[in-house]
Amino acid sequence: MNTYLRLLAFVRPYIPRLILAVICIMMAASANLYIPWILKEVIDKVLADKDLLTLNIIAGGIVVVFLLRGIFFYGQTYLMAYIGQRIIIDIRSAVYRHFQRLSLSYYEKRQTGTLMSYVTNDVAALQNALVDNVIDGVTEGMTLIGSLGAMFYIHWKLSLLTIITLPLVAQTINIFGKKLRTTSHVMQERAADITSVLQETISAIRVIKSFVREDHEIQRFENENYKNFRAQMKNAQLMALLTPIVEFLSAVGVTLIIWYGGLEVINGNLTAGSLIAFLMYVVNLSNPIKRLSRVYGGIQRSLAAAQRIFTVLDTEPEIQNMPGAVALPAIRGEVAFHSVDFSYKTGEPTLQDISIQARPGQMVAIVGASGAGKTTIANLIPRFYDPCSGYISIDGIDIKTVTVESLREQIGIVPQETVLFNGSAYENIRYGRLDATRDEIIEAAKAANAHQFISRMPEGYETQIGERGSKLSGGQRQRIAIARAILKNPRVLILDEATSALDTESEKLVQEALDKLMSGRTSFVIAHRLSTIKRAHVILVMEKGRIVEQGTHEQLMAHGGAYYNLHQVQFSSNKAAR
């Protein structure tokens, strides 16, 4: 019921149109009710009395009825399509808006394909159900009530006999409805699984090919495909059973009517025209019963989809503004961690007792083995996650007390892998600050050593890059990311050094660009190569979530501990590589 009410909230803005649509549907459906009555009049009066004038009037009337029916049919279809599409657009936007608000942790726990299927499959299921069910529901409901009324008017005993079968049919529909709801839920989940495997394997096609796992993936896909088939068939089987059962029950009723009605005509209690009209109304009746059962199935399906959509909308983002959070004023860039502990999963600490002091403009390098927690430290600064205990301050202000937006606006991130959006090089750099002028964008590209290669591309800054555009090299992508960050002009920077090696020339260009970017800003550099961080003001050496050493390169080398060892390992492997 709750789901119905919530769906109704989306329908509310379109209620005037919906009323108009329902009027159109009722008017169009009422044509089904006129025809048997007209036939009764023709047989009992016009044909019996050979009344030519009335015959002409009736013939003209039928044409007019069908003309009007056509007009109302147009109205119902157009209006319902409009309302259905509008509601779907609203729901889809609501889900998408909510997706943008949800925290990173939400995405990490779920597969991309599943999330995509909420916006595609579920919303589409809802749309079909909304439009078709309202039209069918009103048309058939109206035909049902109108036909029953006319039947009782013609012969109430015969009508009672007919509707004895109705509770039987209703009960059957009820039982099937419950089962259908379960099977359609499973069906939607299976469809989401397929999308999910598909999405995963398409984006990982390189990995699949490099491991020669095509057959393995085909097998996996076929498993999901088959599971989907099973779920679809279960649903189809129920649907296939429902119709014949309902039809059989209806047929038994019709036979009874012909027998008893025939007796009444023979006994002179009923005219021939009335019996024919009565039978036509009964036929009218079987259609709504059949269709209404389908509407019922459709409603169950859409409720299942709606429930999944509402579950998404009900998920609260983990990272939220505190009540009364204020905007972070323009910062100088003093970043401090105060005894911060953090874990992704309760009971498995990822960071323990982290304390860091970075003065404005300083470069802090974080080094350590893979999995030591370097990225996690960086993730806490823009509040992608919140510490479990301890706190982080910027210019002495606890970052939990300010709005997330104002905090992230002042932090620049250059990730390991640059994500390019479909669009021109210009647009991709502008992502750093949407109101930047063309000159500012070109300035940023120049500072990031990106101007030259962009200018050399066929359409310069207008060249399409990203998934569907020209491919850029690793170093070029990084320079686009650096240009973005320069444009954003943040006081605090987080650099995740790319692990993939660049050639010396490209490396030099990237390093130069990074140096320009970092100058004057507080920067946290997640370093994989020690050569780039010698001049860092502080180097933090991480081991299993703890800072085990900190100091400058010289201090740490002199200390001869973990950093020294890391250095020796890298130095000797570099030498070996040469």
Residues of this chain that interact with ligand ATP (CB under 6 A) are 108, 344, 350, 368, 370-376
133: left (phi over 0), alpha (psi -120 to 50) or beta: alpha
User: Least distance to ligand ATP from the beta carbon of 352, Å?
Assistant: 12
**Residue 106 Cβ vs ligand ATP, minimum distance, rounded to whole Å:** 11
- Say how far apart CA 507 and CA 518 lie, in whole Å: 16
Rounded alpha-carbon distances, angstroms, from residue 234 to 179, 231, 240, 291? 10, 5, 10, 20
Q: Which amino acid is at 550?
A: Q
What is the DSSP-derived secondary structure letter of residue 431? T
Angle, CA of 189, 191 and 196, to the nearest 5°: 90
Q: Provide the minimum distance between the beta carbon of 351 and ligand ATP in the complex, in angstroms, as a whole number.
A: 8
Q: Which is nearer to ligand ATP, 56 or 105 (CB)?
A: 105
* Residue placing its CB nearer to ligand ATP in the complex, 134 or 526: 526
Nearer to ligand ATP, 131 or 372 (CB): 372
Q: Taking the complex as a whole, how short is the minimal distance between the CB of residue 192 and ligand ATP, in angstroms?
A: 22
Distance of closest approach, residue 390 Cβ to ligand ATP, in angstroms: 17
- Measured from the CB of residue 104, what is the shortest distance to ligand ATP in angstroms? 7
Q: Give 495: exposed, middle or buried? Use CB within 10 Å, 0-12, 13-18, 19+.
A: buried
Residue with smaller CB distance to ligand ATP, 322 or 369? 369
Task: Tell me the C-alpha distance between 267 and 263, whole Å.
Answer: 6
Min separation Cβ 566 and ligand ATP, Å = 12
Q: What residues contact 273, with CB distance under 8 A and at least 6 apart?
A: 39, 40, 41, 42, 43, 44, 45
Q: What is the enclosing helix (H) or strand (E) of 264?
A: helix 214-266
What count of other Cβ atoms lies within 10 Å of the Cβ of residue 111?
16
209, burial (CB in 10 Å: exposed 0-12, middle 13-18, buried 19+): exposed
The nearer residue to ligand ATP, 305 or 527, going by C-beta atoms, is: 527
Closest CB to ligand ATP among 210 and 370?
370
Nearer to ligand ATP, 87 or 498 (CB): 498
